A and B are shown apart, each in its own frame.
Chain A
Amino acid sequence: DQQVKQNSPSLSVQEGRISILNCDYTNSMFDYFLWYKKYPAEGPTFLISISSIKDKNEDGRFTVFLNKSAKHLSLHIVPSQPGDSAVYFCAASARNYGQNFVFGPGTRLSVLP
């Protein structure tokens, strides 16, 4: 029973265009969300986070949007670059639910030159 879902296993986007990666969650206790990026043979690296008191957080080319009522968040990458090609994991946590993150299964993004 996955609490964090990423329903698109893969996504291909042309360089320069927008990449939109989606994530849905089921546990209403989650109040902090993160995106991690993972290259092959490396560990996940932190990308951007958002607290449930916000609905948007922006960092350069990366923006995360949170829709609490729909239990949905998305990561926008604009413009997409070939170096963005990686697996992207959505993760969630809850203040009173333990110290760990709960990860989704990931979406593989391919940015085509």
Chain B
Amino acid sequence: GAGVSQSPRYKVAKRGQDVALRCDPISGHVSLFWYQQALGQGPEFLTYFQNEAQLDKSGLPSDRFFAERPEGSVSTLKIQRTQQEDSAVYLCASSLRAGLGSRDTQYFGPGTRLTVL
């Protein structure tokens, strides 16, 4: 069955460039999460969508980070004016139900490895 997919799998950007990372969640999943995983660390929460509504963006590290999910399915994480500290793996996860994300199994995509030079 189709799981969560992410593209591109690898992205190299020069400092100052804008990047866009795509997530295709499992069909029918209401909840969608973005996490950032630095080398040697666990995933850290960035933002949460319930359908098209961004209900929590408390983990976004700066206003250079922007996420959207306009039709309640595919989501895009955009990073403007990338900096070296943005280098990390960006993971997307989805879960079936709404409002129970903290109790519902989250299914992760393979991630996008972003390297900022």
Contacts and interface: CB of A to CB of B under 8 A. Distances in A.
Interface string A72-113: 000000000000000001010111011111111110000000
Contacts of A99: 31, 33, 48, 50, 55-56, 99-102
B110 interface: yes
Interface of B: 4, 31, 33, 35, 40-45, 48, 50, 55-56, 58-59, 91, 93, 99-103, 105-111
Interface of A: 4, 9, 32, 36, 41-46, 49, 89, 91, 93-95, 97-106
Contacts, number: 71
Main secondary structure of the interface of B (DSSP, over half): loop
A89 B42 contact: yes
A27 B34 CA distance: 22
